[in-house]
Amino acid sequence: MMGPNPTKYVKIDPMTSSATDQDGSTNRGSSNSGGAVGRSFSILRVLRRSSAPLPLTAISDEIGIAPSSAHSVLMQLLAQNAVVQDGDKRYRLGPAMFYIGSAYARGSSLYRAAWSELITSANELGVTAALAVPWENHHLIISSHRAGDSDVSVPFGGRVPIDGGSWGKVHFAWSGDPLPAKLTSYTSASIVDRKAYAEEIETTRRNGYAVELGEFADDIGGVSAPVTSSAGYEGLGAYLAPLSRIEELTLPVIGRRIAGLTARSSLALGDSERVRFFGSEA
């Protein structure tokens, strides 16, 4: 007898790769001129990228400082529960990081405006929902919800490259950022021709939502749409599911649904340009 379908994971910010800033440089060794705060964040970033606890020497080598200096910073982080140490004297992120980070997600205007309705609609459709904000040339996932028997997992706190799939189309359609000189090929379905990608962006603006057909992760499809405010682009909401499920729901139906949802969220944040009003004031 066949078992349940295996979970499909969207490719999120590989833990073993170096974090990259908007100018393309990595954080490795950047702590030397950042003072105590800079060194603390460099250590936290190293631990965030690691899939396993790290010993002191591995941490100090990664950020380019002496083990004694790294140990001094780690002791301060331990005192704040920002990191924890296991029986083998290896370090990993501590509960204080989740406590602080989750408060950022819950307090964001994007979350407050869109998340409740996005969960409700995802449950009705049987898809995975996600909210993401632009950060360091990536989409930072501030919340995700796997509805019903949806077998697509999107871990919150992860990152998707800024040009990844439909999320990239939404970003470049509404953020005002220029297209990168080179587009990345994530799968065989990725659009890497800049002219073709520009046409996709125009279609996204016209429809109010972007389409995902295995362009970032194999066999995963979906739609995404922008949340804007009186200050401009805030981030995006997305539905994701296996391509077979997306075909059942049909792209125009779920596309219009998420476009309407994010337009209402945008209105709540002070952007009335994406909602049509009937009637006028006396």
**pLDDT by 10s per residue, the chain, length 282:** 334 455 555 655 543 333 333 333 344 444 444 688 999 999 999 999 998 999 999 999 999 999 999 999 999 999 999 999 999 999 999 999 999 999 999 999 999 999 999 999 999 999 999 999 999 999 999 999 999 777 898 988 899 999 999 999 999 999 999 999 999 999 999 999 999 999 999 999 999 999 999 999 999 999 999 999 999 999 999 999 999 999 999 999 999 999 999 999 999 999 988 766 555 554
> How confident is the model at residue 197, as a pLDDT?
97
User: Out of 1.10.10.10, 2.40.30.10, 3.30.2290.10, 1.10.3430.10, which CATH number does the structure's domain 30-100 have?
Assistant: 1.10.10.10
Write the CA distances from 153 to 118, 143, 188, integer angstroms. Answer: 16, 12, 21
Per-residue pLDDT at 34? 65
In 3-state terms, what secondary structure has residue 228? strand
- What residue has token string 């596309």? 255
- DSSP-derived letter for residue 259 is H
Query: Beta-carbon neighbour count of residue 116 at 10 Å?
Result: 11
Task: Tell the CATH topology of 108-268.
Answer: Beta-Lactamase (3.30.450)
Q: Which residues contact 68 (CB under 8 A, 6 or more apart)?
A: none
Q: Tally the residues of the chain.
A: 282
The structural domains of the chain, with segments of one domain joined by +, span 30-100, 108-268
Single-letter residue type at 247: E
Instruction: Give the C-alpha separation, 276 to 263, whole Å.
Output: 10
Cα 57 to Cα 68: distance, rounded to the nearest angstrom: 10
| Angstrom distance (rounded) from CA 265 to CA 257 | 13
State residue 212's pLDDT score.
Answer: 93
CA 271 to chain centroid? 23
**192 Cβ partners below 8 Å, 6+ apart?**
182, 183, 184, 185
Cα distances (angstroms) measured from residue 69 to each of 26, 41, 110 = 21, 14, 39
Output the pTM of the full model. Answer: 0.83
Provide the residue type at 139 as one letter.
Answer: H
